[in-house]
Amino acid sequence: MNTKYIRLLRPKAWITFLLPFSVGFGLGVTSDTNLLHVVFAFVSFSFWMSFCFVVNAIGDKDVDKFHNGRSKDMNLAHQPLVTGEVTGKAAFSLSIMVFSCSLLSAWVVNPLFFALILFVDILGYIYSVPPTRCKTKPVGDILCNALAAGAAFVAGLSIGGANMNFFMILGAPIMGAICYVPTVVTDYEFDKKAGLKTSAVFFGPKKVLRTLYLLSALLMGVELIVFFTSNLELKVLAVLMVVYAVAIALVSNIKLREERLYIHENWILVPFALISSAFMMYGVLKLLGWVIL
Ligand code: GPP
Ligand code: MG
């Protein structure tokens, strides 16, 4: 694939949503799960992410040119709609194509998976482009990402259908918000310069990061219920989630200096990629019947 399309689709950034999706897959899969469903689910996930990032590039064409390359998977000033390597018309056609493919491949998996992919496609759209463009609405930006993370988790679970636990599902969007909030603060200067009213620009970085303590406490409450009412798999995940959330809350609040939070992108992308790979491998082992719980 030509590098301009890689810069348009930003596959490295997909890791952010691959995490909830693959954790869901790892927990939900059983030795009875149809391998074809697994393949089509991951294909659908890739088309969904492609759709989100193409419409995001279209919506952000006029602001991405201000980016200085910091704290992201790429320097957005080099995205192909800014450089003119891809036309708006070509990007629009591609968005229709990947949107349709995300739904067609989701249809093969199961009805719930299909409904969730449709939901996250809609979230990706309303997040990035007018009239809603939630990425520029205080709270709207966090809500969209939290809901998308939660829905991606349930979609992953639904592939195999095991471990559909209400409280674990409730915890997923809270965890999504906890992971997203520091990234909206690292974008603060860039978004302010671009005139975008994100949660960090509207409330200020300090206040937004303080909410991480509240969200972590909320998550702790939910995961305590999971811990005392669920099986070993969910118990372990509940503990890991709380530890990770508290670490994120502490580190980002400590690292904030005069409204600036600088976290190198690898501090997010590398752990996310490692955890996603671990859960995908765990899922494959369960599928093969090599792990029986
Ligand atoms: C980029 O948003 C993020 C996405 C396109 C994924 C959102 C998908 C959802 C389903 C909510 P951004 O424009 O805020 O960040 P960047 O500056 O990295 O493009
Ligand atoms: Mg963008």
Which tens digit of pLDDT belongs to each residue from 140-164?
Answer: 999 999 999 999 999 999 999 999 9
pLDDT at 1 over 60: no
- Dist. CA 168–CA 157, nearest whole Å: 11
Residue with tokens 């620009």, as numbered in its chain: 201
Q: What is the pTM of this model?
A: 0.96
Nearest to 250 by CA among 269, 264, 237, 263: 263
SS3 257: strand
Give residue 25's pLDDT. 98
Q: Which residues surround ligand 2, an ion (CB under 5 A)?
A: 56, 60
**CA 54–ligand 1 middle distance (angstroms):** 10
Q: How far is the CA of 232 from the centre of ligand 1 (A)?
A: 34
Examine the pLDDT at 236 and tell me if it is beyond 90.
Answer: yes
- pLDDT of res. 11: 97
Q: Is the pLDDT of residue 129 over 90?
A: yes
Determine which residue's CA is closest to atom 8 belonging to ligand 1. Answer: 124
pLDDT in tens, 266-291: 888 999 999 999 999 999 999 999 98
Give the model's pLDDT for residue 69.
81
State the pLDDT at residue 266. 87
State the chain's mean pLDDT as an integer: 95
Residue 108 amino acid letter: V
Nearest to 136, CA basis, from 194, 92, 183: 194
Q: How far apart are the first and last CA of the chain?
A: 41
pLDDT (average), residues 54-58 = 98
| Ligand 1 binding pocket includes 121 (Cβ within 6 Å) | no
- Looking at residue 101, its pLDDT comes to 98
Radius of gyration, alpha carbons of the chain: 19
pLDDT score of 202: 96
Residue 210 CA to ligand 1 centre (angstroms): 22
* Helices H / strands E in the chain, number of each: 14, 0
